[in-house]
Amino acid sequence: MNVLVDSSVWVRHFKQRNDQLVTLLQNGVVVCHPYVVMEIACSTPPNRRAIIDMLGELESVTLATTGELLAMLEHHRLYGRGCGLVDLSLIASVFLTDKALLRTFDKLLAQVAKELNKAYCPQLQS
């Protein structure tokens, strides 16, 4: 299993250490998306340059094409649900990346991921 960690999880981790995230990192299951790297790069995490470099070194998920994003949007009727392009791209990437789930603290995105059976829920994991 791989876990795509979105920017909301990273930002919370920077403010208050998240031991679950640390464990996932130590187990080598965290994967990254270029949009997450860019969202973090636009903010001010501690040791900004080191964090951006570390995120860039993580295994990257498969990126969806515009056509794949549009098809997913229509097929799963995700329009009008409060998910923007970055959210849709993250969801698409967990579908396109082998055995990947999404970890987020964004309530709307978490609900969509859960409905699509692509949410990583630590309390439910063994």
Q: Is the pLDDT of residue 43 over 80?
A: yes
pLDDT in tens, 65-82: 999 999 999 999 999 999
17-27 average pLDDT score: 92
In this model, does residue 124 exceed pLDDT 80? no
Mean pLDDT of the chain: 94
Q: Is residue 126 part of a domain?
A: no
> Is 51 inside a domain boundary?
yes
Enter the tokens of residue 38. Answer: 């860019």
Gyration radius (Cα) of the chain, Å = 14
| pLDDT at residue 1 is higher than 80 | yes
Rounded mean pLDDT, 49-71? 96
Place 17 in a pLDDT band, splitting at 50, 70 and 90. confident
* 46 inside domain: yes
CATH number of the domain bearing residue 88: 3.40.50.1010
Which residue intervals of 1-126 are DSSP H helices? 7-15, 19-26, 34-41, 48-57, 66-75, 85-96, 107-115
Domain extent, residue 73, equals 2-117
* Domains identified in the chain, total number: 1
Confidence of residue 123 (pLDDT cuts 50, 70, 90): low
